[in-house]
Structure 1
Amino acid sequence: MPEREITEPVDLCLPSGRLAPEAVGWTRRPLHRANLRGWGRTKRWEYWGVVTPDHVVGLVVSSLDYAGVLGIYVLDRASGVETVHDDVVPLARGVELPERCGVGGVQASGASTAFVFDQDHERTTIRATAPDLTLDLTVAVVPGQDSLGVVVPWSDRLFQYTVKDLARPVTGRLTLAGTTYDVPAGESWAVLDHGRGRWPYSMTWNWAAGSAAGRGIQLGGRWTAGTATTENAVLVDGRLHKIGEELAWEYDREDWLRPWRIRGERVEATFHPFHERVARTSLVVLAGETHQCFGHFTGWAATDDGERVDLAGLVGWAEEARNRW
């Protein structure tokens, strides 16, 4: 489907709080200001996914208006042991999230967790703590490397702005139960999911992301169906190639560790999981279930000029999330 590339800064919302028509499209770098208004359906979050040779890390800082949902997840890839710390903060008190992606600070704390993300044009520094866990990371901004920004319009009242920033080099340290692990340069990759919008109460989505040096794959499904936009792209040597089609996702909900297949005219990707993470939430108005698998990609995706890019060597995740929020 045809999708408009936005090349100049734009506000996400009109003064009324409704979606600005000129904000609908996609970008190669963050250009939207999320000037959201209203309460109750507004969602804001920063999610960082990090894959190292030894660990997988997931960090979420979110405000859902009536609650702040915070989380730290660490997987030991060798043993399969998971470390999970989650907090819910009533009315999202103290959760700070900026209007623009990649600029300013993110701060939040709960009963067991605390987060500080400092962002500028050269790097993001991440500090997160929980009982027996400290994470100190530096995520570099690669000069000239594209990210994918997309506005998904369900209506002029319900819409989402997302930035998926792939293949960000990361270094630092993880201290877990008294043992410190290095996050080695050149072998560790971070992906940012920056989200701002106003959502329907019930929604299901698929998301897959894989990274390597200067390369990445970003694939989404279900939540964009029937809108004017998709969130599919392949990153090659730092250049983003937008894939404007809804893709077919095939996976086994009885056996999540079987290969996933994601297909379209420009994508033939197979995802091979090595671990499944299951996250469930049930808090009256807030409920959800996510199956997030970590693994490797094979197959290909086509660039704008039709070149088929080999996806072998990309490491990341694929997931299904079902939320009532």
Structure 2
Amino acid sequence: MTEHPTEHPTEHPTGPPTEREITADVALCLPDGRLNPDAVGWSRAPVHDTSGVGRGLRGLGRNKRWEYWAVVTPDHVVALTTSALDYAALHQVWVLDRASGEEVDAVAIAPLNRSATLPGRLGDGPVRSRTRAVAVAVDEGPGGTRLRARTARVDLDVTVPRPAGRDLLGVVVPWSPRRFQYTVKDVGRPAAGRLLLDGVEHPVAAGAWAVLDHGRGRWPYRATWQWGVGCGRGVAGDGTRHEVALQLGGTWTRAGATTENGLFVDGRLHKIHDELDWTFDRGAYTEPWRVRGERLDLTFVPAHDRVSRTQLGVVASSTHQCFGTWSGRVTTDDGARLDVEGLDGWAEDVAQRW
């Protein structure tokens, strides 16, 4: 693996990219499997049909499809992954006990994609991981999303309501007509249900929230990214308090025409079009991180570093996902400033060869 400098500020072109809001249904792929230029942009709703990804022989080995849900409570973090990577399917249920720092992890890797069910469009069908070690089921209903998962030590059943009128962030990032990614980030939705951990029940109740990372695309062999999420309250200049959720990305969008950056205030998306400066220490991930842009200046203080490394020949990954709190200031589309303090969430640094 390439050595990285200790202090790591991300680099990006000067000035924000030109981004287009998409409001009507659109296919991600052309009939021949290449990227549809009309699909490039961002949206507040899941308007992209991604069924062309993974169909036929186009981009074989480069198609990546996944559904990642995280449920955050004052006591635990639970993460569910269903993914199909062409040559293998990877499924995972991971739990963090936030008081003790104990991690409970179950991973299943199966050849090809047969153990994974992923719809061609967000919400158009069930999500399933079907292995002996890991079972995940995600189902959309009239009022929201039901998440269920089971491993030898974990049994989760949680409902994630979707409040009326709430936005999400959908983005198509184009690297070329043959390499592109569609992602949906849905941050800060309320969650309720129960977590059984080693037979002990833990309610998922007041203060719990959930995040969706929905991904469909064709990736280059090497990729690096940062991803930050936060949820809590912000205070405006007039003293009013607002629900605030952060969706912050870095590095992987630099060569494209769009970013995955956004600010949600009371459920409304305020799209951030410029690339962000991420500064953190790859030699000491639990030291504070800083993320800055034209409309935000935030500090992230980690409390726990989840470290994951995989080395399987030509396939390798390195992940540091740090859980902690965000503080600083953000600015809405109309120029209103909000001060945020202690927003719960995470920041991660990932390097992939896949």
TM-score, L = length of structure 2: 0.89
Deviation at 1:249, TM superposition (A): 0.4
1:239 paired residue among 268, 275, 297? 268
Question: Is the aligned partner of 1:90 residue 2:117?
Answer: no
Describe the superposition over 1:240-280 as per-residue Cα deviations: whole angstroms up to 9, x where unpaired.
00110111100111111111100111110111111000011
2:293 paired residue among 264, 271, 280? 264
Alignment of 1:54-65 (within 5 A): 54-65=75-86
1:102/1:121 contact within 8 Å kept: no
1:103/1:121 contact within 8 Å kept: no
Alignment of 1:6-155 (within 5 A): 6-35=22-51, 36=53, 37=55, 38=58, 39-155=60-176
Alignment of 1:91-240 (within 5 A): 91-185=112-206, 187-212=207-232, 214-240=243-269
Cα RMSD of the aligned pairs, angstroms, is 1.1
Describe the superposition over 1:59-96 as per-residue Cα deviations: whole angstroms up to 9, x where unpaired.
11100011001111101011111101111011122210
SS in 1 for 2:341: coil
Letter in 1 for 2:270: H
Unaligned runs of 5+ in 2: 1-16, 234-242
2: CA distance, partners of 1:226 / 1:158: 11
1: CA distance, partners of 2:177 / 2:152: 43
Q: Which has the larger radius of gyration?
A: 2
Give 4+ residue runs of structure 1 displaced > 3 Å after superposition. Answer: none
Deviation at 1:121, TM superposition (A): 4.4
2:328/2:339 contact within 8 Å kept: yes
1: CA distance, partners of 2:153 / 2:102: 15
Deviation at 1:167, TM superposition (A): 0.8
Q: Relative contact order (C-alpha < 8 Å, sep 6+): which is higher?
A: 2
Question: Is the aligned partner of 1:322 residue 2:342?
Answer: no
Describe the superposition over 1:159-206 as per-residue Cα deviations: whole angstroms up to 9, x where unpaired.
000000011100111111121100013x00100000000000100000
2:154/2:196 contact within 8 Å kept: yes
2: CA distance, partners of 1:114 / 1:300: 40
SS in 1 for 2:319: strand
Letter in 2 for 1:8: A
SS in 2 for 1:22: helix
2: CA distance, partners of 1:266 / 1:71: 35
SS in 1 for 2:126: strand
Aligned length: 324
Deviation at 1:237, TM superposition (A): 1.1
2: CA distance, partners of 1:301 / 1:137: 31
Describe the superposition over 1:190-226 as per-residue Cα deviations: whole angstroms up to 9, x where unpaired.
0000000000010000000112374201000000002
Unaligned runs of 5+ in 1: none
Letter in 1 for 2:139: D
Q: Report what 2:326 is aligned to.
A: 297
1: CA distance, partners of 2:329 / 2:264: 12
2:195/2:202 contact within 8 Å kept: yes
